[in-house]
Structure 1
Amino acid sequence: MPLVETLPVGADTAQWPVWGTVARLVVTDPARRDEAADLLRAELTAVDGACSRFRPDSEIRDVCRAGGRPIVVSSLLAELVGAALAAARETGGAVDPTVGAALCALGYDRDFEQLAGRVFGGGVRVFPAPDWRAVRLRDRELTVPDGVLLDLGATAKAVAADRAAARIADLLDTGVLVALGGDIATAGPAPDGGWQVLVQDRPGDPSCTIRLPAGAALATSSTAGRTWGRPGELLHHIVDPATGRPAPRVWRTVSVAAFSCLRANTLSTAAIVRGHGARALLADMPSRLVTPGLRVVCGGGWPR
C-alpha cells in the first residue's frame, strides 16, 4: 500500500520515511501516539541493526562473513531468520532468504533510496538461490554456508510490523495499526467498524477500501514498486529463487489478508513468484490480485 504516504495524518497518526518506504502508525487512543511512535522507531532500529544486508555493521553481515562457521546470534535475529526459513518451508522455496547474491547481481546492492533511478550497463548475471535448507538454525546458533548472502527483505518487514503492533498494544493498552509500506499489522481493540485500509499500489491503479477486524493483517506484494533499470529492461525486487531473475509479471500486485502480517506477506510474495499458480496457492485465503492490465481478481472472501 505505498499510497499510505498520501493519506491524511491526524492526532491519532504518525508517519515517517523508513527503509525506502513509509512507516505509518495509527492508535485508538491519541494520547498514546507519541509513546507508540517511540516504540515503533525502537523496533525498526533493532530490526535494521539485526538483519539489514545494506549495513556493513549489521549482525547478519557478520554471520554471512563467518565462512560457514556456526555463530550464536541475538534472539531477535534468530526470530527473523526462523521466520524466513518457515516461509521458505511453507512455500516450497518460493520465498527464499538465500537470494541475496541474486539481488546483488541484479543491481539491488544498496538501500532502495540510493538505488532508484540508477541505470546499469552490461549483461545480467544469473545467481539461482542456493538450497535454503543448507541454512541451519538451532535455538540461537546460526550457520550460513560460505558464500551465501542472506536477504530477509521478504519477511523481516512483516515480522517487524507484527512485533511492533503487539508490543504497543500490550505496553500502552491501546488499539494500534502499524503499516510499513505494504505490510500492515494490527493489535488491541479496533475502532468502531474496524480498521479502514486503502488498498492501492500506484496512482491510477484500481483501489478499494476494506475494513480489517481487530488483530487482522494485510500484505501487498508488487512488481510495479521498487523497480530499477537496465538498458532494455525494468527489473523488480521479487526474485524467483529458481532462476535468480525477477519473477515474471503475471501479477502487478497481490494482496492477502490474514491474522499475522508474516503469513500474509509470505503468501503474497509466493503468489507473485508462482505466477499462474498463484490462485491455487492462495486457495481460500482472502486475496486480491491485479493483472498488468489492471484487471482485479478477488478470492477467498476478500474483505469489503
Structure 2
Amino acid sequence: MMRRTKLYMDTVVDIQVATERSKEEAEAAIERAFSAFRKVEDACSRFHPDSELVRACRRIGVPVPIGPYLFEPLKFALELADWSIGVFDPAVGGTMEKRGFNRRYLTGEIADNPADDSATYQDIELDAYNRTLLLRKPMVIDLGAVAKGFAIDLAARELSRFERFIVNAGGDLFAGGADGRNNAWNIGIRHPERRNETIQTIEISNEAICTSGSYERISAAADGVHHIVDPRTKRSPNAWVSCSVVAPYAMLADAISTAAFLLKEEEAPYLLERAELRGVFIKPDLRIVKVGGM
C-alpha cells in the first residue's frame, strides 16, 4: 500500500493506493490527485483573500467570468439549495463570519467582508453559457459543504485506474475498489465525544462517505454556535451531533450530510430517502439512527 499525506483546505488529505501497476505510475497519479485539492482550494476558499471566490464576491451587480473549479461546485450548491427549498444555502457565509467563523486559517487574519443579511441563494445568478457569476446583493458565498467533496471526487478520478485506493480528507472520503482482503472497505464513523474512537462502522466500495458534525469547530464569538449554521434561522441546529451520508460521489455526500444536519429529527431521514441515499445519524444522547437500509 502506497500512502501520502498533505495539508489542503485546512485538513490533512491522506491518499492510499494499492496496485500491481508501477510505483512511478501510482506516484504520478497521487500527485495529480493532490493537485486537484490545490486547484479547488485556490478557486473556492472564502478564507483566502486572493481566491477566485473572494475576488468574485467583491463585485456586485456585474457578471464575473469564473473558471470550472469554482463554477461546478457552485452550480451544484445552487441546485441543492433549490431542491431543498433553501435549507441548504451557499449564501450563508456572511452569517458564519458574523458568528465568529471568519479567521483565515493560513495567516490568522480576520476576514471582514460586507454582506447583506437578507441575501440568499436566489440572489446568485450563474450563466451556464458564458460561465459567469452575478451577485444581486453583497454576500459571502460559503462552499465549505461542497468544495471538499468536489476535490475528493476529482482526486478519485485520477486514481480510478488502480485496483484499490482511498482519498480521505479529514474523515470525508471516497473508497475505490476493495480492501486487501477483496472485501468492501470497513470505514469507522468517529465518536462525537471520544475523538480517537469510532461509534459505528460501515462497509462501502466505490462510494463516498462524508460526515457533518457539531463537535469539530465551535465559535469563540458566540456561545453554543458551531460551524453548521441554518441559513433560515441564523443559528446552529442541535437535533443531531453527527450526520454521515453514503453516496456515489463525495460532493453529493458532503452536501446532503450538511443539509440533513440542518433538519429536524423527523425530517432528515426523509431527505435521504428522497435522494435515495443511506446514512447514519447520531443524536445528542448518542442514539444511532440508520437510514436507507443501513
Structure 1 unaligned regions, length at least 5: 1-10, 119-125
Identity in percent: 30
1:299 is aligned, of 277, 291, 294, to 291
**Aligned pair in 2 of structure 1 residues 67, 292: CA closer, same or farther (>3 Å)?**
same
SS in 2 for 1:53: coil
Structure 1 residues 114-171: Cα deviation after superposition (integer angstroms, max 9, x where no partner): 77xx9xxxxxxx975622122111121111224111111111111111111012225x
1:81 is aligned, of 74, 83, 98, to 74
**Aligned pair in 2 of structure 1 residues 34, 226: CA closer, same or farther (>3 Å)?**
farther
2:140 is aligned, of 140, 143, 149, to 149
SS in 1 for 2:220: strand
Name whichever of 105-114 and 46-55 sits farther off.
105-114
Matched, 1:109 2:102: yes
1:72 is aligned, of 54, 65, 68, to 65
Structure 2 unaligned regions, length at least 5: none
2:261 is aligned, of 272, 280, 283, to 272
C-alpha separation in 1, matches of 2:29 and 2:192: 28
Tell whether the 8 Å contact from 2:280 to 2:288 is kept in structure 1 after alignment. yes
1:180 is aligned, of 142, 158, 169, to 169
SS in 1 for 2:239: coil
For 1:58, the equivalent position in structure 2 comes to 51
Structure 1 residues 206-258: Cα deviation after superposition (integer angstroms, max 9, x where no partner): 52332212x21111110111223246x23211110102222x21100011111
Offset of residue 33 of structure 1: 4.8
Tell whether the 8 Å contact from 1:28 to 1:190 is kept in structure 2 after alignment. no
2:279 is aligned, of 276, 287, 295, to 287
SS in 2 for 1:207: strand
**Aligned pair in 2 of structure 1 residues 112, 237: CA closer, same or farther (>3 Å)?**
farther
Structure 1 residues 76-129: Cα deviation after superposition (integer angstroms, max 9, x where no partner): 2111211211221222211111011101100111245777xx9xxxxxxx9756
Tell whether the 8 Å contact from 1:256 to 1:288 is kept in structure 2 after alignment. yes
Matched, 1:261 2:253: no
Structure 1 residues 26-56: Cα deviation after superposition (integer angstroms, max 9, x where no partner): 2122835533431222111111111111111
**Alpha carbon RMSD of aligned pairs, Å?**
2.4
For 1:158, the equivalent position in structure 2 comes to 149
**Aligned pair in 2 of structure 1 residues 287, 128: CA closer, same or farther (>3 Å)?**
farther
Correspondences of 1:116-127 after superposition (within 5 Å): none
Tell whether the 8 Å contact from 2:123 to 2:137 is kept in structure 1 after alignment. no
SS in 2 for 1:249: coil
SS in 1 for 2:264: helix
TM-score (norm 1): 0.83
4+ residue stretches of structure 1 with deviation over 6 A?
none
Tell whether the 8 Å contact from 2:44 to 2:69 is kept in structure 1 after alignment. no
Matched, 1:227 2:218: yes
